[in-house]
Amino acid sequence: MVEVLISYKEHKIISFAVKGHSGFAPEGTDICCAGVSAVAQTALLGLINHLRKKPSYQVEKGILHCELPPQLEDKEEQTAQIILSTMEAGLLSMQEAYPGYIKVDIRRC
């Protein structure tokens, strides 16, 4: 199962992590893994390309972790939240379409 953790603090997404493989199909042909990976990596690229203060991130086989930098300016914070809330909506939609293969956990601090 692909596990996604989206962390909120004060009603704002501050980080996300993706790990694992869905097991929907053999590695390399798994549309669940490919979909989650595409959505998460696109969100990361959006943050890297549109924020002056870059997020910290780790990308390895089967793992992606991204954390926003603290104290973004208002406009950058708005941009980050638009990117990340869109990612969240896409991942939740995929979880609904492929229950048992994708799990999105949302933690609010």
Q: What span, in angstroms and rounded, lies between the C-alpha atoms of 32 and 49? A: 26
Q: Which residues does residue 9 pair with via DSSP β-bridges, in sequence order?
A: 12
pLDDT at 99: 94
pLDDT along the chain (109 residues), means of 10: 97 97 91 96 97 95 94 95 98 97 95
Tally of domains within the chain? 1
pLDDT at 28: 86
Helix (H, G, I), strand (E, B) or coil at 24: coil
Helix (H, G, I), strand (E, B) or coil at 42: helix
Helix (H, G, I), strand (E, B) or coil at 50: helix
| Alpha-carbon distance values, 32 to 36, 40, 69, 83, 88 (Å) | 6, 12, 29, 21, 15
pTM value is 0.95
pLDDT at 20: 93
Helix (H) or strand (E) holding 95: helix 74-97
Domain that holds residue 92: 2-108
Q: How many CB atoms lie within 10 A of CB 89?
A: 11
Q: Domain containing 8 — which CATH number?
A: 3.30.70.1490
